[in-house]
Amino acid sequence: MAAATTGVDKSPRSILVVTLSRRLVLLSDISPHQPGDQHCDVKLAEHGLHKKYLPEFRGVLPALKVARLFQLENKINAEIYAQLAVVVPLIDPS
């Protein structure tokens, strides 16, 4: 809850983006596998949260509202990724 009050996002996705953007000039300092590994870790953590809370959502909400909740989350995530794609350059493979 502190992250919301301070305006600082401490989610794994945000930490990954900040770390990569700070290291764009120093990409030779990190393992070539690190960005991919971190991306997979973030996706697995998100999946774990969905799997953990899905039964709870189903216990208090009708099925259509649970589906709508996940649809809205996907739309929000798509917007976040679209905005990130504008500001985070692609890694040069050379």
92, part of any domain:
no
Token pair of 92, please?
């040069």
State the pLDDT at residue 76. 93
33/69: higher pLDDT: 69
For the stretch 3-61, pLDDT in tens is: 444 566 677 777 766 666 665 555 556 677 777 888 888 889 989 999 999 999 999 99
Give the chain's radius of gyration (CA, Å). 16
Closest-CA residue to 35 (of 50, 23, 45): 23
93, part of any domain:
no
Token pair of 48, please?
């774990």
Token pair of 66, please?
């649970």
Angle at 20 between CA 26 and CA 16, to 5 degrees: 150
Domain count, the chain: 1
81, part of any domain:
yes
What is the C-alpha separation between 76 and 17, in angstroms, rounded? 17
Domain boundaries, position 80: 2-87
Identify residue 43 by its one-letter amino acid code: K
81/19: higher pLDDT: 81
